[in-house]
Structure formats: structure tokens, C-alpha cells
Structure 1
Amino acid sequence: MKVLKFGGTSVKSAEMMKQVGEIVKNARAEGQVAVVVSAMSGITDQLINVSTLASQGNDTYQQTLKEIEKKHLQCIQELLPPQHQTRTVATIKMTLNELEDVLQGLFLLKEISPKSRDFVMSFGERMSSAIITEYFKTIGLDALLADGRELIVTDDNFGNAVVDFEETDKRIRKYFSRTDKLIVMGGFIGATVNNETTTLGRGGSDYTGSIIAAALQAKMLEIWTDVDGMMTADPRKVRRTMVLKQLSYIEALELSHFGAKVLYPPSVQPVLAKNIPLKIKNTFNPAAEGTLVARESVDNGSPIKGISSIDTVALISLNGSGMVGVSGFAKRLFSALASGRINVILITQASSEHSITVAINASDAAKAKTLIESEFVQELKSNALEPVVVEQDLSILAIVGENMRNTPNVSGKLFSSLGRNGVNVRAIAQGSSENNISFVTQNADSRKALNIVHEAFFLSDTRVLNIFLVGVGTVGGTLLRQMREQQEYFLQEYNLELRVTGIANSRKMWFDENGIHLPDWKNVLDNNGEAMSLGGFAGKMHEMNLRNSILVDCTASEDVVDLYEESLQRGISIVTPNKVACSGRYDLYKRLKQTATQRGAKFLFETNVGAGLPVIKTLNDLTQSGDKILKIEAILSGTLNFLFNEHKAGVSFSSVVKKAKELGYSEPDPRIDMNGLDVARKILILSREAGAKKEAKDVVSENFLPEECQKATSIEDFFTVLPKYDDYFETIRSDVEKAGNRQRYVAVYENGNLSTGLRVVGPDSPFYQVEGNDNLVLFWTERYKVRPLIVKGAGAGAEVTAAGIFADIIRIANF
């Protein structure tokens, strides 16, 4: 014997009932079969609605009743041959007449009891089972319709009746022993010994199937639904979920308790007791293997089997010294909650016995608070207990797996993954069986947490980075191109998915949680983007709340820097070539770094100094390994080095400056480079990374520009004035070169002093041979006293700067 249960979506239409017929025919060919069906999809909700409307004296219930009738009669017309329709239509109309009489009574009385509501709700299964039984007959199946109310005996707890298994098993076995026909019955309903119709509560049709299977010692219970099986997580919330091939009963119970919608805990209990395997199959895809639930679990390569969640829960906490050492305290708490039929989902208690916290459904929070305050009224009055604390807008997430108990560091991996992404855990519970670790977090973080945990345990070979880019000009646009060109490479070679989920320029911004199509980002931003505002950009980024998020700031804006601290607080990492944050106030620089560390985020700014050169990384490696920085000497401006290398006989200085700007080597305003401000910022950043507490005013900088050029009112004005001084610069160049020397703009950090300025160097200087737009950094340390550690290479340009930003992004993926 095999029992097949079909849910509401499986029998929602004539087309689906035909699909069910094919499945049942194939099963029947292999042996004896019993079929349990739910009401057609949506019908139970409509029945609840009509009963409510009728009991309120609202005659619009009649319209909904007509819709229910129309749906069933249309199904009959589409499903059954004409010669079978008349009898079935008559059956449904008689059933609906009975329903109409009940609703008319509710309408006149203007009230409804739990008993009456159960009776109304039973009509969905009664009608669907009648229709599908008749259909089975038309396709050659010798089917017999059974009434669940005659077989399943319950108490009178209407809405969630308790089954009398001894009497129920006796009736089921007797009924099935009298025939070898294909038995079809509606699920969800039963009756008291006085023949009062009852319902079995949430998941009641699954429960019916399980009761039948257990009573008959069936070889298998199949639950046919609209998914391929139980998944590693809810596919509506988590991408790239996988079907679980096999679960143990315990794992299935744990997952279903914590919100896995495919299966409900009562469904498993009867077959668990009889050791009958249960299989979840997809009516829409019968060929799919499905999920087997059996006594034993199987190793799926991960210590956990699945992740599930319950949204909209509340935490209720009791705290106070009056709890310490007092026996029976927990008993009183749970008795108070039980008196109000409030289900406790999670419990956690401090070992000091100073506090106890329970999680319940949010809808029960106010009632629970009242019950607890009533129970502990004396302790609250005497201040032995602090006021009852209720926290709302929370979710419970649970990871489940029998193999957890044999695997070290599961909890470490779980909570470190959450911490790195800024997800705060409010409460934790783990049973001694180690089959489950449950934790409570904010509702707003639930989806993010599910994806983080799923990625950590099931997609550990694949990582997703969600990138939000502000500034898509020369450097930002180049970065997008580089990422586009390397996306497939990183996915194939390193299982790293680079997903740009937000972009913005000064005018527009655009977001796509699934990733912006990079080959077309300009058109998407221009045509679909909304008006840009930094507050709007930050708000949307925070609202999306994606795991492994990175804010990439490719601007020189002080305003964008204002977004950094809150983003880091939320666990969003930051990558930027923008020097404002790290060269501004020391307290801001330090606070950003500390916030990143505390929140498990990363604040990377390698391209603040030396574009794509590993200058800051090298300095960090030296200091973190215990070396002491004695002196830093450096050419830190690729722009200035380019100017002095390209300024030759017959080439005007002003034309070289224009060329540097056109090539993207200089700042948008070249004076920032030429007045030493850019170099001053860079040496200040290096000194801070070396451990110095320095401010911008501590840098002594030389500005080699003539005063008139410095005071130009605009960039255009500057380029108008600069050619006047071509002869001035040519004279300096000629005199220096005649002496066999070269001009270099050098920054120095030594003995706590910071300086930048123009220096004339000879052939014996390491700076003499620095060509093009290269940078050169000399680190003199305790370990490198005789000869310095040297970092040299291109220090300006969109390509190398974008490459440096890209490298920082990849570094975050590798943490």
C-alpha cells in the first residue's frame, strides 16, 4: 500500500487534476493506492471569508459563494466527459446547497462558533474529492470516495482537533479491508464521536495522509506539492537553493518547525512512529527525484541539511535578581503562557539565572505580556523583577542537520559569517542533541542572514560580492569595464560572482539586486536611472541589505565620505581611491578603521597612494610583522613625475600639463597635484598607517607654481595664465639639466616630521631614473637599514588606479 496526498495547487484546476490522474495511474500499476486530496487552491480561504462575512450580517458573502460554485462547476465541465458531468454537478450543487443553508443561519444569527467554522471549512475537501473521484473513474481507475469524517475520530477542539488514534486506526483498517478499490478521500477533516465535523489544523491534509499511511502500515507516504522537494532554504528568499535528496525524520521535523512550508510537523509524527518513509514530490514535475524523509539521514557534504526561518516573532525577557536560585520560576513562566495557549518557539536563559528569554509569535506578544505580569505581579511590585521587556520585528533562523554534532566549528562558521556582514544576533538556542542551532535577528536582516548562511554552508566554493559604485567617470567607468571583462574568469576559476548591484553618477542612480548588465550599464543608468541623491543612494543600499556588500567610492567628494561610517556600521565594506577620509581629520580616519574592525567590515584604500601599486599593503605588512619605520622617502605623484620627465627642450611646460590632464594622470584640477596638496595627503596617509597621529597641518609642503597660477579663479583661467610662465619653467629645467641633474617632487616622513617639495637629484639618487608617470617609495626600517625596501611602478592613470580598486575588491572576497 502506498498513500498519495495531493495539495491544493495539485488540484487547483482541471488541467492539474488530469496530471494527478496520470500520477495515480502509474502508482496504481505498481500496487494498491490510497489518495488524499486538499481543497482546490484558494477555496479554504474563500470559505473562511464567506463564513466571516455571513456572521457579520454582510450579504456580499453570496457573491463569494457564487464564485466558489463557478470554480467547481467550470472544473467539472473541463475535466469530465459529458455523460459523467450530470451526476457530479448534482453532487456539487447538493453540497453547495447544504453550505448555503449553513451560511444563511450564520447570517441570521450574526455570529459564528469554532464548530460552525470547521463545518464550513470542510466543504472544500468534500467537493474536490468528489470531483476527482469521478474523474478517476473516467480514466479507468476503480475509485471509491471515502468520507474522512467517518474514518478519523477526534476530540471537539474545533480548528485544531486532536486525533483519537486507537479508534481512528481501527476504523481505517476495517474500511480498507472491505475493498481493494482505489480509495479517495478529502484531507483536513474528521469528526467527533458525536459526528460533529472537525478540522485538523494547519497542514491538516498532510496529516490525514500520514494518519492513513500509519494505520495501514503503508510502504510509503508521498506528499505531492508544487516544488521539487524540501530545499536547502526558501527559494523565494535565497538564490541557488538545492533540493535535499534525503532527510531524517528529526531533520524534517526541525526544519518544518522553523518555517519550512513544504512540510508541517504533525504530518511527520504518525509515519515517524511507524517508521514509514515519506517522500515529497512535485506534481508539476513528476520526473524530479523529490526528497525522501526516512529514519536515517545521508551525508550531503555539509554538516547541515537546511536553513529555515520564522518571520514576525517577538522576544519576551524577564530579568532580575529575584530569579537567582529560585526554584519553579521557569515553571511559573511557561504555565502562564500555556494558560493562554501561547506556543513558545525558542528559549534561552543566562547561566547566572538572572534572565530568561522566550520567542513567541508576534501576534501573541501583548497577551503574553499581560499573562506574565499577572503571574509575577508581586515580584514586579517589589522590584525583584525588572519590567517585562517585549521586542518586536524579529525573525528566528535555524540551521538543521544531524551531522552537526560530529563536525567542529559549525557555530563558529555560522556566527563569524553573520558578524562579517553586520548581522546582529539577539538570542541563541542550541539543544544538547546538536541537531539545531537557532538564533534571533531583526526582521530586516532575515533575508540577508539566510543568504549569508546558505552561502557559507552550501555554496562555500562560490562567493557573491554585491558592489555599489558611486562615481562612474574615467576611473569608475574603467573599473566597470575591467570587472565586465573578468566576471566570467572569476566565476569559472575562483567561483567568485562579481555582481554590481548599484551605480551612480552626479545625476542618476540605478539598482538591480540581480546584478546590472555591465555591457549596457551606461544606457541603463541614463534611461532607467532615478534622480541621484546621496541620501537616496545610501537609503536604497541599506534597504537592499545584501550580504557581502561593498561601497566603492570613485569620487573625490567629501559628501560621499559622509556615507562611510554608517555603511561600515551596517557591515558594508568600503573600497576607495578618494583620499578625503584618510587625509582629513585624524579622529575620522581612526574611527572609520576602528568601526570596520568592530563590525567585521573592510575599509581598503590602497589606491589613495600610488594608484595600483601595493604601497599601503607593503607598509602594513612591515608594521604588522613588528618592523619599525625609520623613514619613508617617495615620489608619490605620477602626475608631477610625468611633468618633469616630459618637459624637454622644445616642449612647453603648459602643454605637458594639458597632456597630463587629457591622459587622466592628473586630478581634474591639476593645481591639486602641482601645489603639493595631493602629495601631502599621500605622505600623511602613509605616516598614519605607520602609526603616527598626524594632521594635515603637520605637513610642510612646497608649492612651485607662480602665485598668479595659484590664484587663478577656475581651471580654465589657470590654463590661460600658465603659458605666461613657460619661459620661467624652461629656464629652471635648462639650468638643472646642464648640471647633469633632474627635478623630482619628493615626500619625506622621518623622525615624526612630514615634508614635500621640489628636489634636484643627481645620477647617484634612486629618484634620478624614475621615468614616465612612475612612483617610487623607499621604506627605511629596522630590518631595511642598509638598503631600503623599494616599491616602484606606474603611479597615475585610470587603468592602474581602477586595477588597484579591483584588487582591493578581490582582497575582500578572500578574507
Structure 2
Amino acid sequence: MAKVVHKFGGSSLSSAARYHAVANIVLAHSQAGDLVVVSAAGKTTDTLVKLWQTFEQQDLHSGMDVISLLRNHQQELIQELLSGKRKAQVLIQLEQELTQVWQAFEQGNLQEAALLAHGELWSARLLSAYLQQLGVEAQALDARQLLCAPQGQLLHRVNEQQCQRLIGADKINVITGFIAADQQGQTVTLGRNGSDYSATLFARYMDVDEVCIWTDTQGVFSTDPRKVASAQKYHKICRAQAQLLAALGNPVLHAKTLSPLHGTNIKLAVRSSYDSDALGTEVVREGGCKHKHFITTLAQQDVIKVHQLEQGELEQLRRQLQTSLIACDVKGVWHLVVPQQHSGELLHHFGERAQLLESNVNGFALVAPQRELEKCQQQVKQGLSELNLNGRFSYLGEGYSLQLTDEEIGADSLGYLHQRLLGAQRQLAVVVAGLGNVGEVFVAQFAQQLARLRQHIDVKVVALVRSETLLFDPCGIDTEQWQTAWEQNAQPYTHDELLSRLAQLDYEHKVVIDITASEAFSQLYPQFAKADCHLISANKYAGTAPLVWYQSLKQELAQRNLQWRYNTSVGAGLPINFALADLQNSGDRVTRVQGVFSGTLSWLCSQYDGSESFSQLLLKAQELGFTEPDPREDLSGRDVQRKLLILARELGLELELNDIELSALMPSQLAAGTWLECQGKLDALDEFVATRAQQAAVEQKVLRYNADLRIEQGKVEAKVGLVAVPTSDPLAGLQPGDNIFVVNSNWYQDNALVIQGPGAGKEVTAAGVHSDLYWLASKLS
């Protein structure tokens, strides 16, 4: 079964050396059943057109000269590539066909389409014979046996049946491009660049995986790389932009080429037959990559104003002229931008409906993401002014901006415009996972942060993830309208699908921001790293995972030069991770970190004075949304234990979670059963806290739930639990809900470094995540 259709253009077959290179590509990239579609070699089609022109003029002498050119070129290729009986047979066939052509010329019954078809026939026959000589099972096929197109309308069902019947599953099938037949068997052509169109038609009919267009360029560039050295080659572009470029006359891909691929998963790639090892450009379905920026130039154009276009008239004219017609709707009146050599035909066709507005103008079209076009249009106007180019016609279309000028856009002007409009084009794709309280605030704050972030790098939110649902747009999600987009476009997803999409994102930089509380999601971090994603975590699970897993993740990130920021995993927006890193980077040695790391437990302990029971305070905190749905998650101290482990590892200590001694802020009997069942036993909690509070009061102390890490003479002691602290201690004066971090080091022995402030709350936590994102953006710049 065919897997790939390869298409080789005339420049790829222009000499014996090029045939040899093409054969090597086929050997390396094909298997039995695959299709190889070929154009006429080199300038063969142009020579055949000259022969037709001499026939129309009945110039026998010039006709004989052109026949000689054709014979010499084809004989030269055959002599250099083939040998023995195979060479003799192909030479005989060539001579027979040239004799028939000349007889038809002399007798006055030469047919244009049948004449032009010889170029592709000769290419297919020669390449197939050369592959056979190399020991490859190959056959040459005439597309007129496969494609029926009466009056230019392809009979798709008939063609599909013919292709599946005649294309061999056990051979390399070398097929002529460009040509088809009508129902009487007469030759018809598929028009300009018809061989590319043939390739995608065969791909559709044979349901292959991929079409590869092998050409003399390495792919699709931001502008003409022959004129602008800094032109960027794109490894992926979307079909919609490729179609738009084709409609604007860009020569790399053509509109007809893409049409058979609509609604399929068939891949389309553009690669260089001159450098087959180089990565090319993949043309992917909409949503498979971000929209790019392109500048494509236009030369010798006319602008024709047309009133009352009839339905389908433009498309008919495009087919008839085999050229691009750019149609601009200016306040309800159509303006057609057309190559100058065709304007006479159009003016004649439209008659009194048409008026020539501009003649022999030049210019360019800028293709860009729709949201950026108006800004780009302003840059275009300024750039033209600086280049002293006089604008004659401009138009802002869907996905593109058109600008026509008096003078041709030379290489220097094109390079200047390219630099001004495209620049470095470095972008950071942001994936936000977790749209709970903190996540929603983070996204809401995003619009305010964009200007600051874009001082360093262009940033786009490309995915929002909630539980089992995903909103994904590689071109960027409008964070001010994300709820509407979510309602309309969010889809169920699997982790594998998310990872696949991240791997395919064609951004210079990517970051996954994890604001979930999901251990399962944190386990995806190694795969995110393999997809070249930076990480920002409010989630604590990855930072407290088993040490071997944690160290492996850190190593993977380091090898790929990826960053992992997790400041909000401890202390919400407080800069404790920054402070510890700065102390170590400055040469200091931290000897102790202690404090109150839970905003919930801080509020409970600070509020408790014995005037109401601890359980009443706990229920009040639950009503205010300060606790987890099951408040025992807070009382267990496990969250504080995890935070202390994150800080310990930040200091380079190789600790596991169980290395930190844990004492819960509740009696052990409350850990069993559901929270509903537990509520009947809260007297035990009140007694547990009251007993310890009374003892602390006797000693003129207060209760605080403390995390404590000590590093003394190489020994590490870490514990989390309820402690009594003197009223003079920094922990005692803590505001309800605040966190406090007390750090001792060689430089802060007697007078500790204290960081204190809100340790919870969706606004400060979201702001802390934004701080990490800003740090990453500045780092990437």
C-alpha cells in the first residue's frame, strides 16, 4: 500500500546528475507501492511551448530547430544515465515520438495539450528505466490512464478506482504530472504547476500518509531567501496561510496543490532535492501550528476596478488565465490586482464594468496573524515613508496586508521591510494548567502583564487545561475573552494528546505553568521536558517526589537548558526561593530555615485565644474558604512537610519526604473515616489544642505550627509540628494568615533574615506565578 507521494519538479530533473540525485532520494525515502510524480526535465516544457508557437506560425524551419533542441537534450540525458538494451529501447521510443510530432506538425494537426504532455512522459520513462537499472522494481505510468477530467472537471470517483486498479503495490510507480485525459481519451492539462496538483490528487485517491514536494528551495521562507539573507525558513506552516500565499502569487506552493488535502490528515512537506538531508517545511492542518509572518513581493501589476462581479466569475477567470487574481473588496466595489500581461484580457472580458486604476505598479503582501495585521499595517506605512516609496494602493484583507508602490521592491528595501516587520520573531508559548481560584486570577492578570513580558519576548497563551478538558490554539488565545472561547471550543483530551500537541508546537520557547494540585499532572514533567518545555510550578508534588525521580527531572532539564521555577510552591508570592538561591550564589551557607509555612494554620493559631473552641475556628475558616474541602488535609501538616522538603532540596540537601519528622495538628484518631464522620469527634481536637495552649500560656508562650530545618556540622534535622514560642519570637507576632520564614546563615547568625507576608490567597499566588513567568521571559531574552 502506498505511504508517500514524492513529486519532483523540472529543476530537480534538469541534468543527468540531478536524475542521479533524485534516484538516491527515491531509494532512501520510498518503499514498494509509493508514487513518484515528475514534471518535464529542466526547460523541456518551455521548449515544447516554443515548438507550438512555431506551429501556430507555420514556421517549418524554426520548428525543425526546436525539434533538434528537444532531441539533443533528451538523448544527452539517456546516454548519460542508461546503458545496453535499456538505453537502446528508450532512444528508439524517443525517436518514434519525435517523428510522430513532426509529422503532425507538417500535416497541420498537432494538438497543444498532447504536445506538451511529452515532457512529463519522457521524464517518467527515463527515471523509471534508471531506477530499474539500479535494481529497483519500478514502472512508468501515464497519468492519462489514471485521471479523467472532461471540460477540466475531475471525475474523482472514477479516478480513484483507476488509480487503485493500476498503481502497483509491489513497485515504485513513476507517474507523469500535469496531464490527464477527457472521456474521449484526448489529452488535457491540469494547468500551471499541474504536477504539484497531480501529486496531491494521487495522494487523496490512494489515501497515503504524506506528500513530499521536492524542489530547488529548502522549504517555505518568511521572504525570498535569494534576496534577503536573514529570511527565516519555517519548519511548519498551516494550510490556510499556505493557501493565502498561493492566492497572492507566491511561487513555492499553489492554491490547487492544497485543495485535494482538505478534510484529510495527509501531511504535505516541501523539501530540497539539492540538499535532501535538510529539514524542509511541513504544511499542517489549521490548529497544528502557529500562524507565521511572510512578505511576498509583487511586480508589474495592474489594478482594475470592477462593478457587479457575477457569482463564480473570478474563479472561472483564474482557471482561464492560470494566474493569481487578488480580489479586494473596497467599500463594496471590487478592485482586482492582476499581472500586467493579463489585464488586457480582463478589461476586454468585463467591458464597461471595468476601469483601469493603476498600471505597472509593484509592491508586496504581508501575511500575518489576523490580530497583528493592523499594527503591521502601520509599520508598513512608516517603513515605506522611510524608504521614500510612494504608495499607490493599499488593502487590509483577511490574514494579509497588500501594498503597491511606484518602484519595484528591491533586495535592499525588502531586507529593510523584513527586518522591521518580522524582526527576530522569537516567541514563548504558554500552557496554563489549572483553572481553579488561582488559575482564573492568573489568566485574568495576564492581559495586564503582557506589555511587561513583551519587553523581553513575545508571549502567547496557547493552551488552557482544566481537569480532563483542553482549550488549544497554537496561534494564541485571547485571555480577555477566554471564557467564551472555552465554552465554544474546549474539548476533552488525554495526557498523550496534550504531550503530542506540545511536541508539535513550533515556538522558539515553550513553558508549562502548573497551577493544579494534581500529583498525576506533575508526573508528566519529564515528558514536558522532552518536549522542550520550561516549567513553572505552584504544584508541590514534583518538588517533593522521590529523590531519584526528582534528580532525573533536574538532570533532563539541565541537559536541555530548560528552566524550572517554583517560587509559589512555598509561600505563595513571598520570595523565599529567590532569597535562598541568592544567599548561596553569594557564597553564604544557610544553617537553619524555620517558620510558619501554611496560611491556613497561621490563621487558626493566630486567631485562637481560648475564647472560642479551636473546632469552631476551623469551621469558620472552612466557610471562608481558607481550608481544603477536608480541613484535615491542612491539620495533617503534610502540606507544610512538603514545603519544607522543597526548601531543603533548594539548599542542595538530598532528603526524602519521610526524612522530615511530622506531627499533625490533631489527635491521631481524627485521621480515620470521612470528614463528615469526623465532625462528631471534634471535641478531641479541642482538647488536643486547649491542653497545649494552656501549657504554653503558663510559660508565656503561644502556639504556632512550625517547620524547622537545621544543618549543623554536616548533620540535617528536619521536623514539622506544633510548637510553643515566646511572645518575643518573630513567629509570635504573625498576622493571621501570614507566612514567615526565618533564615540563619553564616552571615545571618545572630540576627536572622526574616521574610514575612501573606502566605495564601489567590491574588498573591497568581502574582507570584507571574513573577516566575517574568523572570523566565527576561532570562530568555
In the aligned structure 2, how far is the partner of 1:336 from the partner of 1:297?
A: 29
In the aligned structure 2, how far is the partner of 1:271 from the partner of 1:127?
A: 28
Amino acid at match of 2:14: K
Amino acid at match of 1:397: F
- What aligned pairs does 1:16-415 form with structure 2 within 5 A after superposition? 16-29=18-31, 32-59=33-60, 60-106=62-108, 116-156=111-151, 161-176=152-167, 179-296=169-286, 304-317=292-305, 330-331=308-309, 345-351=325-331, 357-375=335-353, 388-401=355-368, 403-405=369-371, 409-415=375-381
Tell me, what secondary structure is at the counterpart of 1:331? coil
In the aligned structure 2, how far is the partner of 1:461 from the partner of 1:209?
A: 33
Task: Report the CA distance shift for 1:310/1:155 in structure 2 as closer, same or farther (over 3 A).
Answer: farther
In the aligned structure 1, how far is the partner of 2:329 from the partner of 2:346?
A: 18
In the aligned structure 2, how far is the partner of 1:142 from the partner of 1:67?
A: 32
Task: Report the CA distance shift for 1:307/1:162 in structure 2 as closer, same or farther (over 3 A).
Answer: farther
Task: Report the CA distance shift for 1:69/1:349 in structure 2 as closer, same or farther (over 3 A).
Answer: closer
Tell me, what secondary structure is at the counterpart of 2:191? coil
Is the 1:333–1:372 contact (alpha carbons within 8 Å) kept by the matching residues of 2?
A: no
Amino acid at match of 2:360: D
1:709-734 CA-to-partner distances (Å, cap 9, x unmatched) read xxxxxxxxxxxxxxxxxxxxxxxxxx
Instruction: Name the % identity.
Output: 22
Amino acid at match of 1:20: V
In the aligned structure 2, how far is the partner of 1:22 from the partner of 1:138?
A: 13
In the aligned structure 2, how far is the partner of 1:77 from the partner of 1:270?
A: 38
1:10 to partner: Cα distance: 1.0
Length, aligned pairs only:
421
In the aligned structure 2, how far is the partner of 1:337 from the partner of 1:291?
A: 28
In the aligned structure 2, how far is the partner of 1:179 from the partner of 1:338?
A: 38
Q: Does 1:436 align with 2:437?
A: no
In the aligned structure 2, how far is the partner of 1:243 from the partner of 1:96?
A: 42
1:79 to partner: Cα distance: 0.6
In the aligned structure 1, how far is the partner of 2:91 from the partner of 2:391?
A: 56
Task: Report the CA distance shift for 1:446/1:101 in structure 2 as closer, same or farther (over 3 A).
Answer: same
In the aligned structure 2, how far is the partner of 1:411 from the partner of 1:49?
A: 43
1:750-775 CA-to-partner distances (Å, cap 9, x unmatched) read xxxxxxxxxxxxxxxxxxxxxxxxxx
Tell me, what secondary structure is at the counterpart of 2:219? coil
Task: Report the CA distance shift for 1:335/1:208 in structure 2 as closer, same or farther (over 3 A).
Answer: closer
1:127 to partner: Cα distance: 0.9
Q: Does 1:421 align with 2:387?
A: yes
Amino acid at match of 1:307: I
Task: Report the CA distance shift for 1:285/1:397 in structure 2 as closer, same or farther (over 3 A).
Answer: same
- What aligned pairs does 1:606-755 form with structure 2 within 5 A after superposition? none
1:358 to partner: Cα distance: 2.6
- What aligned pairs does 1:436-515 form with structure 2 within 5 A after superposition? 436-445=400-409, 449-459=413-423
1:646 aligned partner = none
Amino acid at match of 1:121: L
In the aligned structure 2, how far is the partner of 1:446 from the partner of 1:191?
A: 43
In the aligned structure 2, how far is the partner of 1:305 from the partner of 1:8?
A: 29
Normalised to the residue count of structure 2, the TM-score between the two structures is 0.50
2:773 aligned partner = none
Tell me, what secondary structure is at the counterpart of 1:222? strand
In the aligned structure 2, how far is the partner of 1:126 from the partner of 1:297?
A: 39
Is the 1:333–1:375 contact (alpha carbons within 8 Å) kept by the matching residues of 2?
A: no
In the aligned structure 2, how far is the partner of 1:49 from the partner of 1:169?
A: 34
Segments of structure 2 that go 5 or more residues without pairing to the other structure are 427-781
1:23 to partner: Cα distance: 0.6
1:485 aligned partner = none
1:570-595 CA-to-partner distances (Å, cap 9, x unmatched) read xxxxxxxxxxxxxxxxxxxxxxxxxx
1:435 to partner: Cα distance: 2.0
Tell me, what secondary structure is at the counterpart of 2:37? strand
1:3 aligned partner = 5
Amino acid at match of 1:436: Y
1:171 to partner: Cα distance: 1.2
Task: Report the CA distance shift for 1:213/1:104 in structure 2 as closer, same or farther (over 3 A).
Answer: same
In the aligned structure 1, how far is the partner of 2:404 from the partner of 2:166?
A: 47
Is the 1:244–1:305 contact (alpha carbons within 8 Å) kept by the matching residues of 2?
A: no
Task: Report the CA distance shift for 1:430/1:165 in structure 2 as closer, same or farther (over 3 A).
Answer: farther
In the aligned structure 2, how far is the partner of 1:336 from the partner of 1:253?
A: 16
Is the 2:243–2:258 contact (alpha carbons within 8 Å) kept by the matching residues of 1?
A: yes
1:344 to partner: Cα distance: 7.5
Is the 1:258–1:397 contact (alpha carbons within 8 Å) kept by the matching residues of 2?
A: no
2:669 aligned partner = none
1:394 to partner: Cα distance: 1.2
Normalised to the residue count of structure 1, the TM-score between the two structures is 0.48
1:202-240 CA-to-partner distances (Å, cap 9, x unmatched) read 101111111111111110000111111111112333332
Is the 2:212–2:270 contact (alpha carbons within 8 Å) kept by the matching residues of 1?
A: yes
Tell me, what secondary structure is at the counterpart of 1:409? helix
In the aligned structure 2, how far is the partner of 1:180 from the partner of 1:41?
A: 30
Task: Report the CA distance shift for 1:251/1:336 in structure 2 as closer, same or farther (over 3 A).
Answer: closer
In the aligned structure 2, how far is the partner of 1:148 from the partner of 1:249?
A: 26
Task: Report the CA distance shift for 1:162/1:361 in structure 2 as closer, same or farther (over 3 A).
Answer: farther
In the aligned structure 1, how far is the partner of 2:157 from the partner of 2:11?
A: 32
Task: Report the CA distance shift for 1:349/1:259 in structure 2 as closer, same or farther (over 3 A).
Answer: closer
In the aligned structure 2, how far is the partner of 1:413 from the partner of 1:125?
A: 46
Tell me, what secondary structure is at the counterpart of 2:305? strand
1:308 to partner: Cα distance: 1.2
Task: Report the CA distance shift for 1:333/1:450 in structure 2 as closer, same or farther (over 3 A).
Answer: farther
1:269 to partner: Cα distance: 1.1
In the aligned structure 2, how far is the partner of 1:338 from the partner of 1:132?
A: 36
In the aligned structure 1, how far is the partner of 2:373 from the partner of 2:423?
A: 17
1:375 to partner: Cα distance: 4.3
Amino acid at match of 2:74: H
Segments of structure 1 that go 5 or more residues without pairing to the other structure are 319-328, 377-387, 463-815
